[in-house]
Amino acid sequence: MVRTIAFLVGAAFTLVLAIALWGSVSGLISEPPAPTAEEEFHLHPREAHLASDGIFGRFDRRQLQRGFQVYKEVCAACHSLRLVAFRDLAALGYNEPEVKAIANQWVIEQPTINPETGEATTRKNIPSDRFPSPFANEVAARAANNNALPPDLSLMAKARHDGGNYIYSLVGPDAYRPQPAALLREFPDVKTPEGLHYNPYFANLNIAMPPPITSDGQVQYSDGTAATRDQMAKDVAAFLTWTAEPNLEKRHAAGFAAMIFIAIFCVLAWGAYQNVWRDVKH
């Protein structure tokens, strides 16, 4: 008797769930929700065609150095790079004296405490230091950026889908633009608020960051490469891909080694199978 009652209760519960599910699904089919402005006007990132793309990808050291120069001269005024140390720049092709010079000449110094007075002070950076934040704290960062908090860029290429292409598109030459007339006609209530900027590659179309790359030649590359807006966007995207995945080349090499090992193992296993069972008649 108890089992029968339990079965009936379970069957009734299942039936109620099925009816509720069918009601929801049929409602979505018959009356689908209206598309939002973000769904209609958000653009997928453009292809940057970075050297690190794909399973055979490798970093272009010259491009990484150019990207670092763009970060240093354009992005570092607002965005931190707190997971990267100056000495990590050796992987970009800088030698030890150059790394020391970059750390020593970095505009923002390291906060510290004066051992004699106990008061807060600063000191020059050394290679083992991580890149210092441009702001003392979150309150200072928001106060300097219209209450928007500039994100740390160390892992930005991993924090966003299609990270390298996303960064390239977000700061590229066609990123910041006036709102389309079609958007304002269809969604008159989503006009870009004052203090924000329309950017179709950003998730909600409106971003607090002003255009960081504003003109060709904004950075003078030391290797003589023409610093077009597109080139600078591509280079800084490559650099931030490296900060997020500094071991990318090692992972690719380990993956190839593993695949070669598996292929050889399969051939040997097949040969052993043929040798062991060759005299067995079916």
Q: Where in the chain are the domains?
A: 37-84+151-250
Residue 132's nearest CA partner among 84, 94, 202 is 84
Q: Which CATH class is domain 37-84+151-250?
A: mainly alpha
Residue 224 contacts residue 202 (beta carbons within 8 Å): no
Q: What pLDDT band is residue 119 in, cutting at 50, 70 and 90?
A: confident
Whether residue 28 is predicted with pLDDT greater than 60 in this model: the reply is: no
78 known member of a binding site: yes
Long-range contacts of 273-280 (CB under 8 A, 24+ apart): none
79 known member of a binding site: yes
Whether residue 282 is predicted with pLDDT greater than 60 in this model: the reply is: no
259 known member of a binding site: no
Instruction: Dihedral sign for Cα 65, 88, 141, 189, please.
Output: positive
Q: Considering only 7-21, 62-76, 249-263, 267-281, which range has the smallest mean pLDDT? A: 7-21
209 known member of a binding site: yes
Which 8-state DSSP code applies to residue 129?
S
Residue 113 contacts residue 274 (beta carbons within 8 Å): no
Task: Looking at mean pLDDT, say which of 3-7, 99-103, 274-278 comes out highest.
Answer: 99-103
CA atoms within 13 A on the CB side of 143: 7
Whether residue 42 is predicted with pLDDT greater than 70 in this model: the reply is: yes
- Reported pTM: 0.84
User: Tell me: the pLDDT tens digits for 228-255?
Assistant: 999 999 999 999 999 999 999 999 889 9
Whether residue 27 is predicted with pLDDT greater than 60 in this model: the reply is: no
Q: What is the dihedral of CA 210, 240, 45, 173, to 10 degrees?
A: 40
Position 139 scores a pLDDT of 95
Q: 5 vs 14, 18, 19, 201, CA distance in Å?
A: 14, 20, 21, 57
Mean pLDDT, range 159-170, rounded to an integer: 95
Instruction: Dihedral sign for Cα 174, 179, 181, 185, please.
Output: positive
C-alpha 180 chain-centroid distance: 27
Whether residue 3 is predicted with pLDDT greater than 90 in this model: the reply is: no
Whether residue 92 is predicted with pLDDT greater than 60 in this model: the reply is: yes
Whether residue 64 is predicted with pLDDT greater than 70 in this model: the reply is: yes
Position 120 scores a pLDDT of 83
Whether residue 118 is predicted with pLDDT greater than 60 in this model: the reply is: yes
Q: Phi and psi (nearest 5°) for 207?
A: -125, 145
Whether residue 281 is predicted with pLDDT greater than 60 in this model: the reply is: no
